[in-house]
Amino acid sequence: MHKRFLFAREDQPGADWLARFTAGREAARRWYQGTGRGEPPAAAECRTALARHMPELLDVYDRACGLVGDDPLAHCVLSQYRPAPVLHGCSQAVWLGDGGPALVRNYDFPLDLVSDRFEATRWFGREVIAKAQRPWGGCIDGMNADGLVASLTAGGGTEQGLGFAVILILRYVLETCRRVDEGIAALVRIPIALSQNVTLLDRTGDYATVFLGPGREPAVSRLPVCTNHQDRIPPQASAAMRCSLLRQETVLHALEDPAMTLPELARRFLAPPVFSRRASSATAYTAIYRPAEGRVDYVWPGRTVTQRIGRFEEQEYTHEFGELAR
């Protein structure tokens, strides 16, 4: 399977963004309405929730709604408030040795649903480099010009709550926070729709993972590895939970190796069991964020694309993933 990735700069949502949203509106609707969700909210409820919990984003949200016009469902989708459940993999680790601080992560997701876009933006003047995910503003990992990195994994739970998609909350953290403590404060106060984990790292080497989910109190972990479970592991672990535990154990053992280096850790992320070749949740890319340098390397087997704060280069790359396991 071939997949094209695009590296683009778009300081503010505008005509190009609208063209992408229009082309992908049906896919965005399917993501938002999904299956297994309750009664969807009205557009006014969505805007009110955004104004209450992430007011700094309201002007940009209103601008995006103005671009799509009188389309209440689209306005709900753009708010990312109360989306349908989505469950997939991911692994990430914090490195504090030579070449650090760094955050290394694999993003695992069905490749046809992963957006093709890595982008640099300046919504409020602060540059953000992030792996964008539809429909608007969402991102799954990124770094801002102050040297704060944020990256997510699914938390393993299936409960749906009255909150926002984590991809918009992650964007909010990168747009408004400078340090790990500020990121934690934002994450624990914003209601989240689904069980999610967010790992934060800043240029000083401070780091934390915040376990989030409806029906639970947020918890802050200082474990340097995060996969797809939280601090509560059921006695009868599912196959997905066992896989998550195996990936976590594999990366923890790597970090405990006194001979480990950052390049070798990155190589471990390109090998099983951390690297996935399953079509249902393939590793779409590996990212290595170095916040003290303002640098991120996006890695595929045989290819690395490096981007830097202040020196983002627009380009394209097509990766051949080959035949994936079913």
**Region of residue 221 (phi > 0: left; psi between -120 and 50: alpha; otherwise: beta):** beta
* Any domain includes 201: yes
Identify which of 279, 280, 283, 290 has the alpha carbon closest to the alpha carbon of residue 269. 283
pLDDT of residue 212: 97
Is 37 in the same domain as 123?
A: no
Is 20 in the same domain as 120?
A: no
Question: What CATH number is given to the structural domain containing 105?
Answer: 3.60.60.10
Is 75 in the same domain as 95?
A: no
The phi, psi pair for 78, rounded to 5°, reads -65, -30
* Any domain includes 204: yes
Least confident of 96-100, 160-164, 283-287: 160-164
Degrees, nearest 5: CA angle 56-62-66: 160
* Any domain includes 230: yes
Assigned token pair, 118: 């890595």
Mean pLDDT across the stretch 17-29? 93
Q: What percent of the chain is predicted at pLDDT more than 70? A: 98
| pLDDT at residue 36 is higher than 80 | no
Asked if 252 and 225 count as a contact pair (C-beta separation under 8 A), the reply is: yes
- Cβ neighbours of residue 231 closer than 8 Å, sequence gap 6 or more: 211, 219, 221
Task: Please give the residue that has the higher pLDDT: either 160 or 207.
Answer: 207
Identify which of 52, 83, 57, 90 has the alpha carbon closest to the alpha carbon of residue 165. 83
Is 108 in the same domain as 67?
A: no
| pLDDT at residue 35 is higher than 80 | no
* Any domain includes 290: yes
Q: What is the pTM of this model?
A: 0.95
| pLDDT at residue 65 is higher than 80 | yes
User: Which tens digit of pLDDT belongs to each residue from 224-259?
Assistant: 999 999 987 767 678 888 999 999 999 999 999 999
What is the span of the domain harbouring residue 73?
7-79
Strand, coil or helix: 283 = strand
* Any domain includes 166: yes
* Any domain includes 324: no
Is 57 in the same domain as 202?
A: no
* Any domain includes 297: yes
Helix ranges restricted to H, 190-307: 239-256, 262-268
Is 160 in the same domain as 191?
A: yes
Assigned token pair, 27: 């896919």
Strand 139-144, strand 148-154: pairing = antiparallel
Half-sphere exposure in the Cβ direction for 322 (13 Å, CA) = 7
Is 250 in the same domain as 209?
A: yes
Assigned token pair, 72: 């209440």
* Any domain includes 316: no
pLDDT of residue 157: 82
Question: What is the distance, to the nearest Å, from the Cα of residue 127 to the centroid of all Cα atoms in its chain?
Answer: 17
Is 193 in the same domain as 299?
A: yes
Q: Given strand 102-109, what is the order of strands in its sheet?
A: 225-226, 91-95, 102-109, 282-290, 295-300, 303-308
Is 133 in the same domain as 38?
A: no
Identify which of 233, 187, 192 has the alpha carbon closest to the alpha carbon of residue 215. 192
Assigned token pair, 20: 């992408």
Is 15 in the same domain as 148?
A: no
Assigned token pair, 316: 């394209």
How many other CB atoms sit within 10 Å of the CB of residue 250? 18
For the chain, how many structural domains are there in total? 2
Is 124 in the same domain as 59?
A: no
User: Which tens digit of pLDDT belongs to each residue from 187-217?
Assistant: 999 999 999 999 999 999 999 999 999 989 9
Per-residue pLDDT band at 37 (split at 50, 70, 90): low
The DSSP result for 35-81, as a single string, is SS--SPPPHHHHHHHHHHH-GGGHHHHHHHHHHH-S-HHHHHHHHTB
pLDDT of residue 187: 98
Q: Describe the chain by its helix, strand, coil percentages, rounded to 5.
A: 30, 30, 40
Is 36 in the same domain as 96?
A: no
Half-sphere exposure in the Cβ direction for 88 (13 Å, CA) = 20
